[in-house]
Amino acid sequence: MPIWNYLSWPHIKECAERGCVVIIPIGVIEQHGHHLPVDTDAFIVHEIAIEAARRDPEILVGPTVHFGYTPSNKNFPGSISLSASTWTALIRDVVRSVARHGFTRIALLNGHGGQVPLSRTTAAVLQDEDNISVVTLNWFGLVDKEMALLFAEEKLTGGRVGHAGAVETSMNLHLRPELSDQGVRVTNVCAAMPEFVSKVGGYVQTPREKLSASGVIGDPELASAEKGAELFELAVDRLCTFAREYRKSRVGE
Ligand SMILES: [Zn+2]
């Protein structure tokens, strides 16, 4: 199972020559309610990537980028938020370094909803200014339809993942139950944006503490390890399929 951090440079060189797909998990350190660890987003994408590489030796798991961009959660104890410019520069330098060693198939596997627009912009800048092609993925995007069915009861109006709600709690219960119930599971199903903004497809950033004293958006009581296992399995399978198709594609040439 190829994991960048554990390989010597000749092995990494060999992976580049074989045309491995580099999957770089990107997350954030931010509050996840009273009950989940602050590294939840980084942890989930790391685990999905590692399991995919276990099944497909042509996937090389890049070093997980733990630091992220989370202005909405920055006031909760434990959250660490880079500025947008620092984060963009960080990801750009990481991807440039990977590309310098000869890898042409590179993907960012994001675990944090608040980073979706920035990671796309960073991918555009990498293409525009560095001539490097990188695919941006979100783990919840790999399983979007099934997640909506599996967690339909939660009735979230914004993003389907919520925040420390049923989805992320289920993933934690499946992957590391010992760290998944550190405090009371607070239920707070609310919209992340005022309706007059969302109904016209607009966007406004709201400090999380104004929406939710616990930091949670969603209903973690609807979580289960079984649902987490189902979603995790599906995400790993989709990532393996993606990597296979990416290798065969001309993207990056
Ligand atoms: Zn999260």
Q: pLDDT digit string (tens) for 116-140? A: 999 999 999 999 999 999 999 999 9
Q: Is this prediction's pTM over 0.75?
A: yes
CA-based torsion, 184, 189, 193, 198: positive or negative: positive
Mark 86-125 as b/e (b = at least 16 C-beta within 10 Å). ebbebbbebbeebbeeebbbbbbbbbbbbbeebbeebbee
Per-residue pLDDT averaged across 58-84, rounded? 97
pLDDT tops 90 at residue 198: no
User: What does DSSP assign to residue 153?
Assistant: G
Q: How far is the CA of 6 from the centre of ligand 1 (A)?
A: 27
Per-residue pLDDT averaged across 12-33, rounded? 98
Per-residue pLDDT averaged across 213-225, rounded? 96
- Entry field: residues in the chain: 253
Kindly report which listed range (149-153, 159-163, 246-250) carries the lowest average pLDDT score. 159-163
Q: How far is the CA of 147 from the centre of ligand 1 (A)?
A: 15
Per-residue pLDDT averaged across 45-51, rounded? 98
Q: How far is the CA of 143 from the centre of ligand 1 (A)?
A: 15
Nearest to 172 by CA among 221, 113, 225, 217: 225
pLDDT band at 89 (very low <50, low <70, confident <90, very high): very high
pLDDT band at 155 (very low <50, low <70, confident <90, very high): confident
pLDDT tens-digit map of 96-120 = 999 999 999 999 999 999 999 999 9
pLDDT tops 80 at residue 231: yes
pLDDT tops 80 at residue 159: no
Q: How far is the CA of 8 from the centre of ligand 1 (A)?
A: 32
Q: How far is the CA of 43 from the centre of ligand 1 (A)?
A: 10
Q: How far is the CA of 10 from the centre of ligand 1 (A)?
A: 36
Q: How far is the CA of 55 from the centre of ligand 1 (A)?
A: 25
Mark 216-239 as b/e (b = at least 16 C-beta within 10 Å). bbbbbebbebebbebbbebbbebb
Token pair for residue 29? 């350190």
Q: How far is the CA of 41 from the centre of ligand 1 (A)?
A: 5
